[in-house]
Amino acid sequence: MIRFAIVGMGHIAKKHIDAIEKADGAELAAVCDTNPERLSDVSGVPVYTDMETMLKENEQIDVVNICVPSGLHAPLTRLAARYRRHIIVEKPMALCTNDAEEMIKAAKEYGVKLAVVHPNRFRPAIRKLKEAMERGMFGKLSHANATVRWNRNQAYYDQAAWRGTKAFDGGVLMNQAIHNLDLLLWLMGPVKAVQAMAATRLRKIETEDVAAAVVEFESGALGVIEAATTIYPQNLEESIAIFGETASVKIGGRTANFIETWEAEGVSEEERAKLIDEINADPFGKSGHQWIIEDMVQAIRENREPIVNGWDGLAPVRLIEAILRSAETGARVQLSQ
């Protein structure tokens, strides 16, 4: 068994615990939180209020799952690496590229594996889209659209002092839209340049609650990004759409789980209906967190990189930094030549 410890017992920790319990070859070995009250309901495993103490005392731990506020990901990743534990870190892996690069460097230096939680890649509809793109179904790509139109009201941000801060949380791009941006990059490839605007319109936070950007991919295709937590009165949609010379596909719904459009040269109406029925029968599939946990188990056993590794986690952070820099300066920002 590969033994996991969770650091940070906030709301996302439950997904990690559930995933570990369901995953083949995984076992929960410990939990840690600086707030003892969050540990009061934990039973069956050792609990700790200090991560370094946990790492020193519990040699059974193979992997540390870092589920603390985003601004703390980098130092805790470096700490886990120094104690030669493999690492799964929640999104975003860091709030700036320098920290993300340091995390990758630390994992390499100490010979441990680093995985980043971008679970949307494992949604059934998204996997079908990725397979179609790898088969060349779209021909030459025209453009893509990534949209997150969600509601996070003021009460959401007021739950904890760190929410909506630049130091620990980030705004709509880093916190809510980063999964969608990960999909955009995974499907379309690296971004060459970006032009953007961002604003804090409705929420009393330090960071942006709405942003829009146009990107140019290295392939020459274009992309449009829209992200907002200002949608009234509840989440409206998360979608990813890809357009090419021989296909148009949109995966949508409130959380990008359903095929809304699937038009492709050579695909019959019967084939399309069968695909949509297949997705509708199980739109959520196996938990993305479970995929990440099980992949880490296999990565350790096979001594390979995780499917979603540190470099994958760095890419959307780098893109978001460029979007915010463009929004601040009003200039087009180059990511690559």
pLDDT band at 337 (very low <50, low <70, confident <90, very high): low
Find the mean pLDDT for residues 274-293. 98
pLDDT band at 336 (very low <50, low <70, confident <90, very high): confident
**Could you give the CA distance from residue 333 to residue 245 in angstroms, rounded to a whole number?**
28
The pLDDT score that the predictor gives to residue 310 is 98
pLDDT digits (tens, 9 = 90+) for 292-320: 999 999 999 999 999 999 999 999 999 99
pLDDT digits (tens, 9 = 90+) for 249-275: 999 999 999 999 999 999 999 999 999
Find the mean pLDDT for residues 272-300. 98
Burial string for 204-231 (b: 16+ CB within 10 Å, else e) reads ebbbbbbbbbbbbbeeebbbebbbbbbb
Handedness of CA 21, 124, 315, 253 (dihedral sign): negative
Omega within 30 of 0 (cis) for the link into 46: no
Q: Is the pLDDT of residue 177 over 80?
A: yes
- Return the percentage of the chain with pLDDT > 70, whole number: 100
pLDDT digits (tens, 9 = 90+) for 12-35: 999 999 999 999 999 999 999 999
The pLDDT score that the predictor gives to residue 180 is 98
Q: Is the pLDDT of residue 99 over 70?
A: yes
Write down the architecture of domain 120-284+317-334 according to CATH: 2-Layer Sandwich (3.30)
The Cβ-side half-sphere exposure at 123, using a 13 Å CA radius, reads 24
Whose structure tokens read 């892996």?
A: 93
- Yes or no: say if 103 and 114 are a contact pair by the CB < 8 Å rule: yes
State CA 204 to chain mean position distance. 25
Write the DSSP symbol of residue 122.
G
The Cβ-side half-sphere exposure at 101, using a 13 Å CA radius, reads 4
**Could you give the CA distance from residue 332 to residue 317 in angstroms, rounded to a whole number?**
17
Residue 21 β-bridge partners: none
Q: Do 120-284+317-334 and 2-118+289-308 have the same topology in CATH?
A: no
Find the mean pLDDT for residues 41-48. 94
Write down the architecture of domain 2-118+289-308 according to CATH: 3-Layer(aba) Sandwich (3.40)
**Could you give the CA distance from residue 204 to residue 216 in angstroms, rounded to a whole number?**
32
**Could you give the CA distance from residue 238 to residue 261 in angstroms, rounded to a whole number?**
14
| Domain edges within the chain | 2-118+289-308, 120-284+317-334
pLDDT digits (tens, 9 = 90+) for 199-256: 999 999 999 999 999 999 999 999 999 999 999 999 999 999 999 999 999 999 999 9
pLDDT digits (tens, 9 = 90+) for 115-152: 999 999 999 999 999 999 999 999 999 999 999 999 99
Q: Is the pLDDT of residue 163 over 70?
A: yes
**Could you give the CA distance from residue 212 to residue 243 in angstroms, rounded to a whole number?**
19
Q: Is the pLDDT of residue 71 over 90?
A: yes
